Every structure is written in C-alpha cells, then in structure tokens.
Amino acid sequence: MTVELGKRYRDKVHGTEGVATMRTEFLTACARVTLEYQKDGEVKSNSFDEPMLDLVLDAAPAPPPAAGSKPGGPGDGAPSAHSTVGRSATPSR
C-alpha cells in the first residue's frame, strides 16, 4: 500500500493517528511517512514505516491550503546568512 498524502492514518504499533504530510523513500526501498497530529494543543509530527500505517476510513480529508498561502517552511523568503543567493558558492581566498 502506498500512503496518500492528506489522508488520515493510524500507526499499528503506538496508535498514533494523524494526517500524512510527507513520504520519504530511501534507496534501500524503505518508505517512511510523517504524520502530523495535535497533542496538548500543539501540532506534533512523527515518522513511521509505511507498512505500519492503517488508513482511517471514517476521517474527513485534510482541508486544502488557504487561498493566497504559500507552501514551504517558516521564513519571509529573504535570503538567510547561509544563502548563496547573490554571491559565489565558493569562498574567496
């Protein structure tokens, strides 16, 4: 079974239930899936082996991103101190 992102799954070992937000496939053919869930009022995430997840059938699908939102992580899009934007990637001597 290949996990579909945005659907709700439950880990068979720990019982953790959440929405699949990322799937990583390694060269060794191992696939890991990250589930996001709420615990103690905070959004948490953990990764699990794909075969250890069961689809939760009675769950509503995850809502789509809000209009005007941009994908990606935190930040304002400005280059960081570690960015190579606008300069050489190799240090000058």
Please write the tens of the pLDDT for every residue from 1-25: 789 999 999 999 999 999 999 999 9
Domain assignment of residue 1, yes or no: no
pLDDT at 66 over 80: no
Domain assignment of residue 65, yes or no: no
User: Could you list the residue range(s) of the whole structural domain that residue 49 is in?
Assistant: 8-55
pLDDT at 73 over 70: no
pLDDT at 65 over 80: no
Rounded distance between C-alpha atoms, residue 44 and residue 47, angstroms = 11
Q: How big is the CA angle at 41 (ends 11 and 52), to the nearest 5 degrees? A: 5
pLDDT at 88 over 60: no
How does residue 75 score in pLDDT terms, banded at 50, 70 and 90? low
Domain assignment of residue 41, yes or no: yes
CB distance 3 to 53 below 8 Å: yes
